[in-house]
Chains A and B, each alone.
Chain A
Amino acid sequence: AQSVTQLGSHVSVSEGALVLLRCNYSSSVPPYLFWYVQYPNQGLQLLLKYTSAATLVKGINGFEAEFKKSETSFHLTKPSAHMSDAAEYFCAVSDRSDYKLSFGAGTTVTVRA
């Protein structure tokens, strides 16, 4: 079964600083990988996805992620944090043969002024 591990349940950054959220997956074949963001009392919004095209994926709101097969990683970055980036972030993996998403435990991002 597919699974993902998000390192760090809570990340605190200063406004304008780099945001780095770590995600490692376990899979014998390259899966589909996703990053979702959830603002308080809202549903999940897709930030970006990897589906075996370019390994560097650009998403919405200035976020990007790089797929590294050798490290089984899909870390999410944003060069300059904004106060509006404060939210819960979930990495998710999907097997290419079914519809199920396996989510990581999530990382809470807080942004300091």
Chain B
Amino acid sequence: DTEVTQTPKHLVMGMTNKKSLKCEQHMGHRAMYWYKQKAKKPPELMFVYSYEKLSINESVPSRFSPECPNSSLLNLHLHALQPEDSALYLCASSQVRGLTYEQYFGPGTRLTVT
């Protein structure tokens, strides 16, 4: 099974709402990632978790709060977002070391902030 699942598929939220994005994988990967992708642009890395610990934060605003409750789950908590945060949010996972280093991506959550 090489699948990364993400829920919800679509999300519309107001600027005062609190919502969460969820990502799950069962490939035994110990590295998990959040990316933000705007239309017609490549994905931009936001966060990396390695062995359930935050290892990279690409200077993301605090209104985005990641959480890795266990080795299979990754959440992204959203609060007080701005309209410019509207984008496709992609989750990915990979092995931490070795030749099987490729990242597997989920289908994404299309977020619209109104």
- Chain A interface (Cβ within 8 Å of chain B)? 32, 34, 36, 41-46, 49, 51, 53, 88, 90, 94, 98-101, 103-106, 108
| Contact residue among A34, A88, A100, A106 (Cβ-Cβ distance under 8 Å from B48) | A100
Q: Would B41 and A106 count as touching, CB distance under 8 A?
A: yes
A74 smallest CB distance to B (angstroms): 14
Q: Would B101 and A51 count as touching, CB distance under 8 A?
A: yes
Among residues of B, the one whose C-beta sits closest to the C-beta of A104 is: B42
Number of cross-chain contacts by CB at 8 Å: 54
Q: Would B110 and A101 count as touching, CB distance under 8 A?
A: no
B4 smallest CB distance to A (angstroms): 8
Chain A positions within 8 Å of B56 at CB level: 98-100
Chain B 89-108 residues near chain A, CB threshold 8 A: 90, 92, 94, 96, 99, 101-108
For the complex of A and B, the 10 pairs showing the least CB-CB separation, nearest first, are A103-B42, A43-B105, A44-B105, A43-B107, A51-B99, A43-B108, A49-B102, A43-B106, A46-B102, A99-B48
Known: A44-B105, A99-B48. 6 other contacts (CB 8 A): A36-B105, A44-B90, A45-B105, A46-B103, A99-B50, A99-B56
Interface range on chain B: under 10, 10 to 19, 20 to 34, or 35 or more? 20 to 34
Q: Verify if B31 is at the interface (C-beta below 8 Å from A).
A: yes
Q: Would B90 and A32 count as touching, CB distance under 8 A?
A: no
B53 smallest CB distance to A (angstroms): 12
Chain A positions within 8 Å of B41 at CB level: 105-106
Q: Would A101 and B107 count as touching, CB distance under 8 A?
A: no
Q: Verify if B57 is at the interface (C-beta below 8 Å from A).
A: no
